[in-house]
Amino acid sequence: MTQRPDPNKLFPREGNTNMCYIKNAIHNPDILIGDFTFYHDSVDPLLFEKQNVLYHYPVVNHDKLIIGKYCSIAHGTKFIFTAAHHTLHSLSTYPFELFDDWSHAGFVTEAWDNKGDIVIGNDVWIGYEAFIMSGVHIGDGAIIGARAVVTKDVPPYTVVGGVPAKPIRKRYDDAVIEVLLQAKWWDWDPQVVSDNVRALKDLDLAKIKEIAKLS
């Protein structure tokens, strides 16, 4: 039996402070991060909440950042929330409501279009300096290319890239994807995951189905 992984430590590699398990560095209750999801930053990954989650005012907009388990998030990834989206439903895009001189113009949320939560699935890899826009949902197992700008939902186990991001290919055929989505290996006990890393790395479907009790 392998050593049981610990999701509650801050730095997953001893002596390496350039990556952290994000959930242990977050203080905002409207940022929800799953176990073992890490962020790598060449300067300071502990600033993730301040430097990577932008225009996020949940007290006003009631929006959340939700990221699943075992995600890999590269340096410079930005999550851009509702307050960055100046409204397209008025003649002017200028945010009059934000400033004292025009506070009579209306409630502050009229200055932008509310796109909603950003929801990232499990086992998602987000590449260097990608931008994830508000309202976007990214499915389990997806891969987001470096410097992609993701403006639309991404299906599970799909590779996307570009500006705006578009599907490049599926990682596996539909039958394999269905097995992986049913197996939900990220919800296994961490000890079970640790003992079966080789099966996950090798895409040993027989073993995965056995552990997940799939017929």
How much of the chain, in percent, has pLDDT values that exceed 70? 99
Q: What's residue 96's pLDDT?
A: 77
Going from N- to C-terminal start, the domains of the chain cover 19-171, 173-215
| Gap between the Cα atoms of 153 and 139, Å rounded | 8
Q: Which residues contact 207 (CB under 8 A, 6 or more apart)?
A: 196, 199
CATH code for residues 19-171: 2.160.10.10
Among the listed residues 62, 75, 85, 86, the single catalytic one is: 86
Find the DSSP H helices in the chain: 48-51, 58-61, 174-183, 190-195, 197-201, 205-212
In a structure prediction context, what are the per-residue pLDDT tens digits for the chain, which is 215 residues long? Answer: 788 899 999 999 999 999 999 999 999 999 999 999 999 999 999 999 999 999 998 888 889 999 999 999 999 999 999 888 887 788 877 877 777 787 777 777 776 778 889 999 999 999 999 999 999 999 999 999 999 999 999 999 999 999 999 999 999 999 999 999 999 999 999 999 999 999 999 999 999 999 999 97
Give catalytic status of residue 104 as yes or no: no
